[in-house]
Copies of this chain bind each other. A is one copy, B any other.
Amino acid sequence: MKGGLAGLLPCLHWLRTYNRAIAAQDGLAAAIVTLMLIPQSLAYAMLAGLPPITGLYASILPLVAYALFGTSNALAVGPVAVVSLMTAAALGGIFPAGSAEYVAGALLLALLSGLVLVVMAVLRLGFIANFLSHPVISGFISASGILIAIGQLRHILGIKAAGHNAVDTLGALWRGLPATHLPTLAIGIAALAVLYLARAHLRGWLCRFGVAAGLAGNLARTGPVVVLLLAVVVVSLLDLAAAGVAVVGAVPGGLPPLALPPLDAGRALQLLPAAVLISLVGFVESVSVGQTLAAKRRERIEPNRELVGLGAANLAAAVGGGFPVTGGFARSVVNYDAGARTPMAGALTALGLALTVVLFTPLFRNLPQAVLAATIIVAVLSLVDLGALARTWRYSRPDALAMAATMLGVLLVGVETGILMGVGLSLFLFLKRTSEPHIAVVGQLPGSQHFRNVSRFQVVESPTVLSMRVDESLYFPNARYLEDRVAEQVSRHPGIRHLVLMCPAVNLIDASALESLEAIAERLRAAGIQLHLSEVKGPVMDQLRQSDFLDHFGGRVFVSHYEALLALDPETTQRALEAGG
């Protein structure tokens, strides 16, 4: 990491070489991303249980903040589906839906999330994201997609139906079905159909009509904003709002006032666990998008810097009337494909959205909620990858179990419970996997100084010296297992007077394993057997010298295992060396 001001503000680096050509590329990318972000921002705010306009607010200042502090040239931050769902889950249990407290809670959550990310950056805690293994993240995103889609169906049907989990919600939808509002359903289905076709086929059709591939792709990306405008026109002309079609309604014009969210220590403490999870999930998603895009140009992003960038974006969301944000996959790819060269593209996108807020909010008054719901459903269903479960099951059962636990947790209990269940189960299975390392009894290969596993090779075993090779670092997950294996082998070899542990693969002996070694040495001594070590690596020896183990365990540390056997049972060893080769 570079120091000084340029180290804190990566933008000082790229601004030095900024010119008109780069600006033109950034500008084009910004225009396309703006058009893409308008419907998404409105929709994800609704998903988070917030007034749709806050989605636009959350796409202005955070983008500027990320442009100043972030390192990815193409990452586009803003509201994303999964984080919006997590926001709704965090706030829903505490604040009444639609209340001013709920909106203030979202600001507080963004503030906490920003602080968590910045603290993680300062303390270099980015590795915590490793707790979220890939199967957990993948299962979490798939299940969230399903949960989100089910939750939005009520807007398509024009009914009220909510539940505590996916099954609950489906039940409520089923019971509410007779009350379906047909004009709303018609708009919803039309929007779903057009959005799906635009996403799946528009680009191909445009190409067939002779539009250049790049332009066709960019035009296809503006499908949602066109659908949105069409819907507003239809609803306004037919006065469908009066006919009972739920619309966004009056939206305050102008930019949001800058202000710190109301601070309440009790509330903050209550929201902190959710803020941590939101930060971690957002960080993992964002870094993986950022790395993928950076690699295409043989660049790289620095994960610790990304923490600062995302933290700044969330702090900006908190003071600018938004809610938690992170880097989105689809919009970042669009940004990249449209030619974004520097984070300036993000700042220009923010400008586009600010103009939208200032000039076009009256348009959104007649925007039907069913169209926003359709936007969400089409976007999130592309996140659902149920095949991943089968693929993971074929590859690794423990990973598939963790994924399944996460999905079931998210669908049947809740978003946070689901992810915690997945993390818990991964850690649990990881510990199980590492708790029984390979430990082999070894003997001398005749005619050589080499020692190999007695169950795989024809080797010579000393009648008085037992040799065991440990094929793993010794630390708390496996320390007691070592005690157990030693006890087992000693009870099977009644004639032995020495036990030599061969440690060429031991990279670490932690305090638990040291205690185990001491217990082993003491127990062996009580049974008239002396413990020795062989082939201990340098750093491990250095650490052992920090304890008094080497002074007290009574045995020797041999540089090679052959040397150990030569010292402890010269007769057998010499004979084996001279035996056929």
Q: Are A296 and B527 in contact (CB under 8 A)?
A: yes
Q: Are B300 and A491 in contact (CB under 8 A)?
A: yes
Stretch from A194-202, A343-351, A413-421, A471-479 contacting the other chain: A471-479
Q: Does residue A552 face the partner (Cβ distance < 8 Å to B)?
A: no
Given that A298-B490, A435-B130, A524-B295 are known contacts, is A399 also in contact with B543, CB under 8 Å in the complex? no
Q: Does residue A177 face the partner (Cβ distance < 8 Å to B)?
A: no
Q: Does residue A382 face the partner (Cβ distance < 8 Å to B)?
A: no
Q: Are A526 and B396 in contact (CB under 8 A)?
A: no
Q: Which of B134, B295, B476, B526 contacts A295 (CB 8 A)?
A: B526
Q: Give the distance in Å from the alpha carbon of A292 to the alpha carbon of B294 in the complex.
A: 57
The interface residues of chain B lying within 8 Å CB-to-CB of A519 are 288, 291-292
Interface of A is mostly: helix
Q: Are B395 and A476 in contact (CB under 8 A)?
A: no
Q: Are A392 and B511 in contact (CB under 8 A)?
A: yes
**Which residues of A463-516 have CB atoms within 8 Å of chain B's CB atoms?**
471, 475-481, 483-484, 487-488, 490-491, 494, 507-508, 510-512, 514-516
Q: Does residue A303 face the partner (Cβ distance < 8 Å to B)?
A: yes
Q: Which of B138, B400, B480, B523 contacts A292 (CB 8 A)?
A: B523
Q: Which of B303, B479, B527 contacts A298 (CB 8 A)?
A: B527
Q: Are B546 and A511 in contact (CB under 8 A)?
A: no
Chain A window 163-195, contacts with chain B (Cβ cutoff 8 Å), 1 for yes, 0 for no? 000000000000000000000000000000000
Given that A129-B480, A426-B476, A476-B130 are known contacts, is A510 also in contact with B399, CB under 8 Å in the complex? yes
The interface residues of chain B lying within 8 Å CB-to-CB of A299 are 491
Q: Are B127 and A527 in contact (CB under 8 A)?
A: no
Residue of B nearest to A300 (CB): B487
Q: Are B295 and A479 in contact (CB under 8 A)?
A: no
Q: Are B395 and A487 in contact (CB under 8 A)?
A: no
Given that A399-B511, A480-B129, A480-B287 are known contacts, is A298 also in contact with B491, CB under 8 Å in the complex? yes
Q: Give the distance in Å from the alpha carbon of A166 to the alpha carbon of B197 in the complex.
A: 67
Each complex incorporates copies of this chain amounting to: 2
Q: Does residue A135 face the partner (Cβ distance < 8 Å to B)?
A: yes
Residue of B nearest to A427 (CB): B427
Chain B nearest CB, measured from A413 CB (Å): 15
Q: Give the distance in Å from the alpha carbon of A475 to the alpha carbon of B426 in the complex.
A: 11
Q: Count contacts on A: residues with CB < 8 A to the other chain.
A: 72
Q: Are A526 and B296 in contact (CB under 8 A)?
A: yes
Chain A window 545-575, contacts with chain B (Cβ cutoff 8 Å), 1 for yes, 0 for no? 0111000000000000000000000000000
Residue of B nearest to A392 (CB): B511
Chain B nearest CB, measured from A536 CB (Å): 15
Q: Does residue A450 face the partner (Cβ distance < 8 Å to B)?
A: no
Q: Which of B131, B138, B479, B510 contacts A396 (CB 8 A)?
A: B510
Chain A window 67-102, contacts with chain B (Cβ cutoff 8 Å), 1 for yes, 0 for no? 000000000000000000000000000000000000
Chain A window 428-447, contacts with chain B (Cβ cutoff 8 Å), 1 for yes, 0 for no? 10111101100000000000
Q: Does residue A16 face the partner (Cβ distance < 8 Å to B)?
A: no
Q: Does residue A20 face the partner (Cβ distance < 8 Å to B)?
A: no
The interface residues of chain B lying within 8 Å CB-to-CB of A399 are 510-512
Q: Does residue A394 face the partner (Cβ distance < 8 Å to B)?
A: yes
Chain A window 97-130, contacts with chain B (Cβ cutoff 8 Å), 1 for yes, 0 for no? 0000000000000000000000000000001111
Chain B nearest CB, measured from A425 CB (Å): 12
Q: Which of B480, B511, B515 contacts A130 (CB 8 A)?
A: B480
Q: Does residue A297 face the partner (Cβ distance < 8 Å to B)?
A: yes
The interface residues of chain B lying within 8 Å CB-to-CB of A511 are 133-135, 392, 395-396, 399-400, 403
Q: Does residue A456 face the partner (Cβ distance < 8 Å to B)?
A: no
Interface residue ranges, A against B (CB under 8 Å)? 127-131, 133-135, 138, 287-288, 291-292, 294-300, 303, 391-392, 394-396, 398-400, 403, 426-428, 430-433, 435-436, 471, 475-481, 483-484, 487-488, 490-491, 494, 507-508, 510-512, 514-516, 519, 522-524, 526-527, 543, 546-548
The 7 listed contacts between A and B (C-beta, < 8 Å) are A127-B477, A130-B479, A291-B484, A298-B491, A303-B484, A395-B543, A396-B543
Which 9 pairs show the lowest CB-CB distances between chains A and B?
A: A295-B523, A399-B511, A133-B476, A134-B512, A300-B487, A296-B526, A134-B515, A127-B435, A298-B527
